[in-house]
Amino acid sequence: SPTFYLPLFYKITFCSGRCTAALLLVLSAVPIAYLISLERAVPSTHVIYYHSSGFLRECAKWDDVGRRFLVSFMDGGGIGEVVIRDSDSDDSEVLEEVILIKDVDIAGNASAGIVIDRDRNRLLVAIGDMVGNKYSALAAYDLSTWHRIFLTELSGHSKEISFADDVAFDA
């Protein structure tokens, strides 16, 4: 029977494709295994666990006066709070997120960055359209009543891409 010899580079190319796939599989498994081990490990610092009413949370800010975390919702917009219990309560207790603001004027947009303006007793919220990047706004809410103080559209009526992601202010 005849024997065929392929050039050496041909064998390397065939082998390297399979070897590359196997190598990529092993290399991708290592970081995933590391992340899983980090998630299952006991944290070295104090951790607060809470049940969320949604999936995506962009920002969390500590409200020292209200002894709570205020969180912004990426999925549909809004603001929630996670109230911290007294220090003598059980650390393994899972806290609940309570929805404070679901504004119909910004429905369908994401509430991204938030900042507490303590001097004016208000919460500033950056709002943006995550899908189309066609709407951006800044809203302010009273920290006592949660009534909206103002809603200012930043994107205008242009067709340019716009997404308000964070808030900063100079007191």
pLDDT recorded at residue 53? 80
Q: In this structure, is residue 28 part of a structural domain?
A: yes
Residues 89 and 111 in one domain: yes
Residue among 43, 117, 50 at smallest CA distance from 82: 50
pTM tops 0.75:
no
* Residue ranges making up the domain that contains 15: 7-41
Enter the tokens of residue 99.
């929805």
Which residues neighbour 108 within 8 Å (Cβ) at sequence distance 6 or greater? 76, 77, 129
Residue among 135, 140, 136 at smallest CA distance from 121: 140
Mean pLDDT within 96-124: 91
Give the pLDDT band of residue 13 (cuts 50, 70, 90). Answer: very low
Using a pLDDT cut of 90, give the percent of the chain over it. 34
Residues 85 and 129 in one domain: yes
* pLDDT digit string, tens, across residues 38-84: 888 888 777 888 888 888 888 999 999 999 999 999 888 899 999 98
Q: In this structure, is residue 57 part of a structural domain?
A: yes
